[in-house]
Amino acid sequence: MDELHYQVDLLNAMNSRLKADERMYRLVCSTSLNAIIYIDCKKGSVKTLANWDSFFPGLEINSVSDISKLYSYIEEPSVLSFRDLIHTSKANETVTEVFRMSDNKTYVEVEVRTVYDETGCLTDKVIRFKDVTKIHAQNDELAYMAYYDSNTGLINRNYFVSKLSNLIKKAEEENAVVSVMFIDLDGFHTINDGMGIVVGDEIIQIFGQLLKKYESENVLVSHFNMDIYCMAIYNPGGSLNANIVFHELKENIREPIRLTNGAETLISFCAGVADYPESASGPLELINCAEIVMFKAKDKGRGQIQYFDAPILKDFLVNVNIENKLKEAVFNENFTMNFQPQFFAEDKKLRGFEALIRWKDQNGEMISPSVFIPIAEKNGAIIPIGNFVIKESIRTFVQWKKRYDVDMILSINISAVQYRTDNFVESVLDIISTYEVDPGDIELEITESFLIEDFNDVMNKLEILREYGVRVSLDDFGTGYSSLSYLKGLPIDTLKIDKEFVDSISSDENARIILDTIIYMTKKLGFETIAEGVETKEQFDYLKSIGCDCIQGFYLAKPTDSAGIEKLLTDRTI
Ligand code: C2E
Ligand code: CA
Ligand code: CA
């Protein structure tokens, strides 16, 4: 009896353990995100498990033949491969494939696993369905991001290069031309900094939409980054060419653009154009050439277009070469200073000197500051170069002052890039106090470019410097935006009349009248006048006769090194 009790207790215990296992198993299955079909191949029985109902609500699969009911859940074109997959009988292997379901939006990953016994008989098969819609969408997005720019919807740089490469191949076969137009918005950084990046993005988008209209089988339109776009036009000799696109686009943005925040803004752009096969033979070179000439277009001003040609490439290569050498020269401070005397017109007495930088490269070749200063302004090297100029010329000047005890002014050329830097005023004052020079002996020569941008900022800086006694002169008057009306109220002491004006004295009656007026008005405004580039006695006499205060030029003295100046000072004092 006891034995029987014992047997019953044992059976109950085993039963409840089985039930617990079964419960645990069901629980685990029900929390799974998969739907599973289990086939016991020996018995031929089929079971659906796990999250079956949420995948296939109401679908009952009780036998192997029922499995075909699944076909209607798979998108039509893939049914055959789905069928092949679930009937696979590859030994002890798991095979997986992704299918779109017939609702057209859900993606399922179907995994089939087969199990064989040691005699080679198929014993079990498990078919697992997993919802991968989210991952699929992410992959789609990744694929999109690999080819498109999300802000404009235009193709990105990489995709453009690959498509351009195809266009070039086609052009090679068909003897056609491909034009690449590199486009850069003007002053975009100012818009972005002033109006914020949201507005900046909107402008990039709006302009991108304008370009998108040209997209076709023969026209590629791409957004490279920020405010840079690129187009390629196949067979530009046809109905559409870069020039037409350029002018149509310009026309489209003639009126201010209305932004979602209600503000309005004007935009413009510059473009550089290079053609296959004339300018380059590969996509990257072609884009490079177009970019190079785009910078040339920028040099001309806003809203300009420039076509690639051989002299431009030569210029560019020369500049790149100079730029490379310049980096080394800056590092080694391979510069020296020359000084050109300035004289009072009245009695030819010395007024002072203009400091002019000189650079001899490793081959002993002199490179003119008119060539390398603009390059240094573009790549930022002008900052260390400018600091060298201020320090070195003041250091030399202070020595002369001590040795010769003459009243004189040192004029130093300052680039716009320099006086736009935040610490410009402090650094000048710092050098002045280090060398214990009288600020009234120092004159900074600036050009008119500050009249277009940063006007207030530069005015403030100059006013501070003038409060310390530093003099300011406006260089190259007559070449830029020069107009007498704006001179009034400018924080300057001296006006330097450009050589171009001086040159026209002997040839052009009208220019003489203008020069007369300038000198008359400038004196009325209380500024001192210096005429530059005076080469002849005739020019000198004329300038003196109309009341020009000072004269600088080869007629009286050429720029020379420090030793030359010391000789001049010695001769004057003995
Ligand atoms: P700039 O400031 O107008 O300097 C006057 C230029 O005219 C100098 O050329 C000078 O040598 C030249 N010159 C003077 N008198 C005559 C003359 O009678 N006839 C002719 N044909 N030329 C004359 P340079 O030294 O080659 O400088 C060219 C330009 O480079 C300067 O024009 C200035 O814009 C820039 N530069 C020179 N040195 C510096 C510098 O230290 N810093 C900066 N930022 N720019 C400099
Ligand atoms: Ca100057
Ligand atoms: Ca000048």
Q: What is the pLDDT of residue 361?
A: 87
Q: For residue 253, give every residue at least 6 positions away whose Cβ sits within 8 Å of its Cβ, in sequence order, or none.
A: 207, 210, 266, 267, 268, 269
Closest residue by Cα to residue 170 from 232, 243, 239: 232
At position 83, the amino acid (one-letter code) is R
Residue 569 has pLDDT above 70, yes or no: yes
The rounded Å distance from CA 477 to ligand 3 centre is: 8
- Name the least confident of 313-327, 475-489, 536-550: 475-489
Write the pLDDT tens digit of every residue in 502-540: 998 888 888 888 889 889 989 988 999 999 999 999 999
| Domains of the chain, start order | 16-143 (3.30.450.20), 151-308 (3.30.70.270), 319-573 (3.20.20.450)
Closest residue by Cα to residue 409 from 336, 344, 324, 478: 344
- 476 ligand 1 Cβ < 6 A: yes
Ligand nearest to the CA of 357: 1
- How large is the average pLDDT for residues 421-443? 96
Write the pLDDT tens digit of every residue in 340-390: 999 999 999 999 999 999 999 888 889 999 999 999 998 899 999 999 999
Choice from 343, 356, 378, 428 to test ligand 1 binding pocket (greatest atom count within 8 A of CB)? 356
Residue 25 has pLDDT above 70, yes or no: no
The rounded Å distance from CA 356 to ligand 1 centre is: 6
Q: Which helix (H) or strand (E) holds 64?
A: none
The more confidently predicted of residues 34 and 276 is 276
- How large is the average pLDDT for residues 397-410? 94
Residue whose CA is at the smallest distance from ligand 1 atom 34: 370
- 478 ligand 1 Cβ < 6 A: no
Write the pLDDT tens digit of every residue in 497-512: 999 989 988 888 888 8
Write the pLDDT tens digit of every residue in 220-240: 999 998 899 999 999 887 778
Q: What is the pLDDT of residue 170?
A: 95
Q: What is the pLDDT of residue 16?
A: 62
Q: What is the pLDDT of residue 13?
A: 58
DSSP character string of 325-391:
HHHHHHHHT-EEEEEEEEEETTT--EEEEEEEEEEE-TTS-EE-HHHHHHHHHHHSTHHHHHHHHHH
Would you give the DSSP letter of residue 467?
A: H
The rounded Å distance from CA 473 to ligand 3 centre is: 10
369-379 helix and 310-332 helix, angle to the nearest 10 degrees: 80
Q: Over the range 308-334, which residues count as b (16 or more CB within 10 Å of their CB) and which as e?
A: beeebbeebeebeebeebbeebbeeeb
Q: What is the pLDDT of residue 228?
A: 96
Q: What is the pLDDT of residue 4?
A: 54
Q: What is the pLDDT of residue 41?
A: 86
Residues of the chain with pLDDT > 90, as a percent, come to 58
- How large is the average pLDDT for residues 57-76? 91
- How large is the average pLDDT for residues 467-473? 97
Write the pLDDT tens digit of every residue in 193-217: 778 888 899 999 999 999 999 999 9
- How large is the average pLDDT for residues 433-443? 97
Q: What is the pLDDT of residue 534?
A: 97
The rounded Å distance from CA 475 to ligand 3 centre is: 5
Residues of the chain with pLDDT > 70, as a percent, come to 92
pTM for the model stands at 0.65
Write the pLDDT tens digit of every residue in 142-198: 878 889 988 899 999 989 999 999 999 999 999 999 999 999 999 898 887 778 888
- How large is the average pLDDT for residues 450-474? 88
Helix (H, G, I), strand (E, B) or coil at 453: coil
The rounded Å distance from CA 531 to ligand 3 centre is: 9
Distance CA 382, CA 416 (A): 10
Largest CA distance in the chain: 145
Residue 464 has pLDDT above 80, yes or no: yes
The rounded Å distance from CA 96 to ligand 3 centre is: 77
Residue whose CA is at the smallest distance from ligand 1 atom 45: 413
Q: Which atom of ligand 1 is nearest to the CA of 412?
A: 41
Write the pLDDT tens digit of every residue in 301-334: 999 999 998 888 888 888 889 999 998 999 888 9
Q: What is the pLDDT of residue 389?
A: 97
Residue 14 has pLDDT above 60, yes or no: no
- Ion ligand 3, residue ranges at CB < 5 A: 475-476
Contact 30, 104 (CB under 8 A): no
What rounded mean pLDDT belongs to the chain? 89
- Residue 343: phi and psi, rounded to 5, are -125, 155
3-state secondary structure string across 250-309: HHHCCCCEECCCCCEECCCEEEEEEEECCCCCCHHHHHHHHHHHHHHHHHHCCCCEEECC
- 502 ligand 1 Cβ < 6 A: no
Q: State the first-to-last Cα distance of the chain, in angstroms, to the nearest integer.
A: 145
Q: What is the pLDDT of residue 314?
A: 86
Ligand nearest to the CA of 371: 1
The rounded Å distance from CA 186 to ligand 3 centre is: 28
Q: Which atom of ligand 1 is nearest to the CA of 377?
A: 44
